[in-house]
Chains A and B, each alone.
Chain A
Amino acid sequence: MSVDAATVKRVAHLSRIAVEDADVAKLQGELNAILGFVEQLNEVDVAGVEPMTSVTPMAMKKRQDVVNDGEIAKTIVANAPASEDDYFMVPKVIE
């Protein structure tokens, strides 16, 4: 399988990465090189094989469902590019 220019733009949008029209062709070539490389997986017979979900089989540990951290709003927003009154600021979302 290979991607066309329209797919590159669609995937860029899904990835939330702005791509200039002038860069689409180069990206298309690079993505197709990678997709061409992974194509060889089609040679493998995977009938009846379970997909891996955990590389080290282990029971997941559970913790008590209690609040054990918090009241650190100022710390949470300390690295934010824009914040006000301990809220993250973003461009208007709802008209």
Chain B
Amino acid sequence: MTDLTHLTLTEARDGLKAKSFSATELAKAHVAAVEQARALNAYVLETPEQALKQAAASDARLAKGEAGPLEGLPLGIKDLFATQGVRTTACSKILGNFVPAYESTVSSQLWRDGAVMLGKLNNDEFAMGSSNETSAFGPVVNPWRREGSNVGAGAAGSVEGNHLVPGGSSGGSAAAVAAHLCLAATATDTGGSIRQPAAFTGTVGIKPTYGRCSRWGIVAFASSLDQAGPIGKTVRDCAVMLRSMAGHDPKDTTSVDQPVPDYEASVGRSVKGMKIGIPKEYRIDGISPEIEALWQQGIAWLKAAGAEIVEISLPHTKYALPAYYIVAPAEASSNLARYDGVRYGLREPGRDIVEMYEKTRAAGFGAEVKRRIMIGTYVLSSGYYDAYYLRAQKVRTLIKRDFEEAYASGIDAVLTPATPSAAFGIGEKGSADPVEMYLNDIFTVTVNMAGLPGIAVPAGLDSQGLPLGLQLIGRPFDEETLFSLGEVIEQAAGRLAIGERWWA
């Protein structure tokens, strides 16, 4: 039998229905793969017993012909999603051994549809980071290596090259999907945290429209930007995942009460006559020729599929990242005020309650989280609110207006590169200047600021043999067009596969 972990989510679904293998066999293959891949540090908690229990229940339902849309399919869950009875930490020391008494709405819908949980996936602490290096559990290793690199090969011979980051904040999700440690994973995206790691690992990731998925039970970072979405091996897999994850939830007043389409039906749909906008402002100074070439390749593929290419202007693009670094920290400073050593998680003793708060938060938060809380506190503080926060929210209105005008002119979707480069080495970026790391999100952050859906699809390899992705940005609640266009790129580029399971 072929390795069951190398199936796509939809292949595995069809295999279970055809009784080619059982859900228990599928779960066991994945549990074994997860155990063998601890060197990647993708999982921060493995739940093999739960996986096998859920798989047995799936087998029973499959036998009775009562299979749900995700019946028996093993998934990884980002550690930002509260899972009932299963430790949830947001990869921060401050949550310690927090065991939620409730399940996030998104994950509960996956279990409702029959999915199987393999464990909790590593991420940047509170989803703040672009490399998964800020996690309290340590960095995730990208299963991709530069061409010629044998790092991680053990003691045999000389080691060439270094380990690469998988991107972030959903680095564990992306690495686990790329290394076949789950069929698909949940992820969240506040400024690029689904799409950038997907691009760095040759996987597909979609951030749906703000409001498409419930945020209830997901550890909050920046509430007006946070949105859950899947990372998968293929566009089709992401379409199937998103259908289960999305939907109205009375417990999240920002979740939208609109029917969830059958996203899978849009995969393979013709894109003939669609108008694709190419924003000239994304042609930033110093963009690598490889990224530019990839973008041109994407344009050629969509053209060949019958789409019409139109040059557009999104004039406020360059202000999205600086505005984000006011809005997101401001919201984070409010959201993270709840970690005070009283109701859950870590507590450090102090002489009085204020000292207890201050010591607890000093010990519990990592450096990047502290920086962002302090920036957020500063920009919201008396005398600076108008100059920073209010101005940033006005700029955000302008960024959204840019997209509205493009869509009003008849554009169906926008094509851009997903990231300014391929994956970089662990420890290579941001140690001296935090802004160096922030620039990773330059192409993705506009989408969050405007609340739009965006998908990253693998489109090719760079000269070092590392995956690169293209991003498609859609109209609000038009994820279907992104799945149709994304599949065109996927078909043209071919799936990117890692040559060797060097970690096992």
Give the complex CA separation of A63 and B395 in angstroms: 33
With A16-B361, A17-B365, A34-B434 in contact, do A27 and B374 touch (Cβ < 8 Å)?
yes
Q: What per-residue 1/0 map shows which CB atoms of A3-25 lie under 8 Å from chain B? A: 10001100111111111000000
* A53 / chain B contacts, CB cutoff of 8 Å: 393
Instruction: Please tell me if A67 contacts chain B, counting CB pairs below 8 Å.
Output: no
B316 touches A31 (CB 8 A): no
CB distance from A26 to the nearest CB of B (A): 9
A63 touches B392 (CB 8 A): no
| Contacting residues of chain A (70-95) with chain B, CB-CB under 8 angstroms | 72, 75-82, 88, 90-93
Give the complex CA separation of A15 and B356 in angstroms: 13
B345 touches A81 (CB 8 A): yes
Instruction: Please tell me if B343 contacts chain A, counting CB pairs below 8 Å.
Output: yes
CB distance from A42 to the nearest CB of B (A): 8
Contacts A52-B393, A77-B343 supplied; 12 other A-B pairs, CB < 8 Å: A7-B378, A11-B374, A38-B326, A41-B319, A41-B322, A41-B326, A55-B400, A56-B211, A56-B451, A56-B476, A80-B344, A81-B342
* A60 / chain B contacts, CB cutoff of 8 Å: 253
* B373 / chain A contacts, CB cutoff of 8 Å: 15, 17
Give the complex CA separation of A10 and B244 in angstroms: 46
Q: How many residues of A contact B (CB 8 A)?
A: 54
Give the complex CA separation of A81 and B355 in angstroms: 16
Q: Which of B351, B387, B392, B450 contacts A55 (CB 8 A)?
A: B450
Question: Nearest 9 CB-CB pairs, A to B?
Answer: A55-B451, A51-B393, A79-B344, A81-B347, A18-B362, A18-B358, A46-B394, A38-B322, A16-B357
* B424 / chain A contacts, CB cutoff of 8 Å: none
- Interface residue ranges, A against B (CB under 8 Å): 1, 3, 7-8, 11-19, 27, 30-31, 33-35, 37-44, 46, 49-56, 58, 60-61, 63, 72, 75-82, 88, 90-93
Q: Which among B257, B370, B400, B450 has the greatest number of chain A C-beta atoms within 10 A?
A: B370
Q: Which of A16, A17, A50, A63 contacts B397 (CB 8 A)?
A: A50
Give the complex CA separation of A36 and B215 in angstroms: 32
B325 touches A51 (CB 8 A): no
CB distance from B71 to the nearest CB of A (A): 30
* B354 / chain A contacts, CB cutoff of 8 Å: 16
Q: Which among A30, A46, A52, A54 has the greatest number of chain B C-beta atoms within 10 A?
A: A52
* A35 / chain B contacts, CB cutoff of 8 Å: 375, 378
CB distance from B313 to the nearest CB of A (A): 15
| Contacting residues of chain B (312-340) with chain A, CB-CB under 8 angstroms | 316, 318-319, 321-323, 325-326, 333, 337, 340
B387 touches A75 (CB 8 A): no
Instruction: Please tell me if B304 contacts chain A, counting CB pairs below 8 Å.
Output: no
A12 touches B374 (CB 8 A): yes
With A15-B333, A15-B377 in contact, do A80 and B343 touch (Cβ < 8 Å)?
yes
A79 touches B345 (CB 8 A): yes
Q: Which of B256, B374, B388 contacts A58 (CB 8 A)?
A: B256
CB distance from B363 to the nearest CB of A (A): 8
* B374 / chain A contacts, CB cutoff of 8 Å: 8, 11-12, 15, 17, 27, 31
CB distance from B445 to the nearest CB of A (A): 13
* A17 / chain B contacts, CB cutoff of 8 Å: 358, 361-362, 365, 370, 373-374
Give the complex CA separation of A41 and B399 in angstroms: 12
Give the complex CA separation of A75 and B85 in angstroms: 11
Instruction: Please tell me if B74 contacts chain A, counting CB pairs below 8 Å.
Output: no
